[in-house]
Structure 1
């Protein structure tokens, strides 16, 4: 089980829509954490159309900080999404609350990584990079960091610097493959190959441009006909499969490297 953290370099490329869409099409239990520091929950105001009020949020987790960690507090704060395998930890209601979460990110990252023992994946909506209160420890702890971007020149210009920074951070920890580029609307106007050339990193997966289907997740709109077989939903399913496979390969490689190192140490002894 793994931790996937979604973020963006600028603008509104659809991080929250992608996070919820991936969670809703995930084949096994998944926890969706709304860690965007801008506040004003996009999930509650968008997908739930302001009709759902969670009894707890990330702020409550911050109040529950304890030396033993947050393992027991997270399930208590999470809200189950009816008819799905998704549970949600709602974010802050105002951007000013992000400052109260500064001390939360490190212990939260530790607890989220331990959730694999419960058979549960984690998807984190980290919002836009570089904002005050940004959950950087969650990015650092991710098995996969997904940089979501549109495919126009403005988006690529904004993503170029952050892509280089994130790649350097993951390379420094020996996990260069942890950074994934997710292109929203490939071919509008640039292709995955052109994006890879500009950002000097391959596009891991792409999401189809389908405003009506996306609005089901972003604004709680009624599902259009053939929604489940729409290009957007199919692209979310393919993206999830690709990301899970990529993380699994990386973990297998790390396990193999550790086993080889252990065998070499024993032979020298």
Structure 2
């Protein structure tokens, strides 16, 4: 299953989208809240059920002990988001000042996430927060850059508004270059459209020169529940956001599978002689009748 990282140019609903995808997936799923600016799920959606003793920050100390210690700490710091334990959360930082301690932890944590996806069949979603660019590159402290480098898909979450597109337009090219130079390839980058605004998917794709891999509807009732917690809105399980999120997870799996196949079997270089033969055959066929 794919490891999918979600980012944004500014507040665009990354955490809400990541929660929807994690909760809607038909497979076991994990949401890793890796925003260096701090996590919001424990205080919002979970309404303080998870204390500071759980979460991302504690993995930094474990990683310094070794890979086994990190793997054990990772498993011990996952919080179940459903009764069956099929949806899990790695709670994020409680203080942005903690982000500096994670610099050397990100690569090892990425390995653990890929093992969970590849060997245990989990859909893994990474809430990577707001992109921070410095001198044309991902900021090494304000973004979890190694997680983006290794992800099967990197989704920029955008709304269909002029303001959102203007902000995203300045970040798409540096992010694509980063993935080309240090990541799994520029084709890992796609868009996740939040359908809030006047622009439709094809217009957003054209404006940002990047494919829209999925779209989620603007569903304020469900979004408010994911942001603030409390009692689920009426019809929550059949809400537009969850229904479309379920479809989106399938679209992401298909996109990641296509990338994997293309990486295994790259297109054969064109043969100029063969191309000439095909052209002549085409011309002869077209002249008949």
Normalising by structure 1, we get a TM-score of 0.88
In 2: Cα distance, 1:72 partner to 1:2 partner: 22
Larger CA deviation: 41-50 vs 64-73: 64-73
Q: 2:22, 2:123 within 8 Å by CA — same for their partners in 1?
A: no
Partner in structure 2 of residue 114 of structure 1 = 115
In 2: Cα distance, 1:133 partner to 1:166 partner: 14
**Pairwise CA RMSD of aligned residues?**
2.0
Q: 222, 229, 253: which is aligned to 2:231?
A: 222
Larger CA deviation: 165-174 vs 26-35: 165-174
Alignment of 1:49-88 (within 5 A): 49-53=47-51, 55-65=53-63, 66-68=65-67, 70-83=70-83, 84-88=85-89
CA distance 1:98–1:256, change in 2 (3 Å): same
SS of equivalent residue, structure 1 residue 28: coil
Partner in structure 2 of residue 21 of structure 1 = 20
User: For each residue in 1:5-47, what CA deviation from the matched residue of structure 2 results, as whole angstroms up to 9, or x when unmatched?
Assistant: 111111x1110111111000111111211111112x3101110
In 1: Cα distance, 2:170 partner to 2:206 partner: 14
State the 4+ residue runs in structure 1 displaced beyond 6 angstroms.
none
Partner in structure 1 of residue 104 of structure 2 = 103
Alignment of 1:209-248 (within 5 A): 209-248=218-257
Q: 212, 216, 219: which is aligned to 1:207?
A: 216
Q: 171, 182, 200: which is aligned to 2:192?
A: 182
Larger radius of gyration: 2
SS of equivalent residue, structure 1 residue 47: coil
In 2: Cα distance, 1:194 partner to 1:24 partner: 29
User: For each residue in 1:237-257, what CA deviation from the matched residue of structure 2 results, as whole angstroms up to 9, or x when unmatched?
Assistant: 121111111111211222334
Q: 2:151, 2:184 within 8 Å by CA — same for their partners in 1?
A: no
Partner in structure 1 of residue 37 of structure 2 = 38
Alpha-carbon offset, residue 123 of structure 1: 0.9
Partner in structure 2 of residue 263 of structure 1 = none
What are structure 2's unaligned runs of at least 5 residues?
133-138, 269-289
Q: Size of the alignment, in residue pairs? A: 256
User: For each residue in 1:86-105, what CA deviation from the matched residue of structure 2 results, as whole angstroms up to 9, or x when unmatched?
Assistant: 11111111111111111211
Q: 1:8, 1:149 within 8 Å by CA — same for their partners in 2?
A: yes
Q: 2:24, 2:243 within 8 Å by CA — same for their partners in 1?
A: no
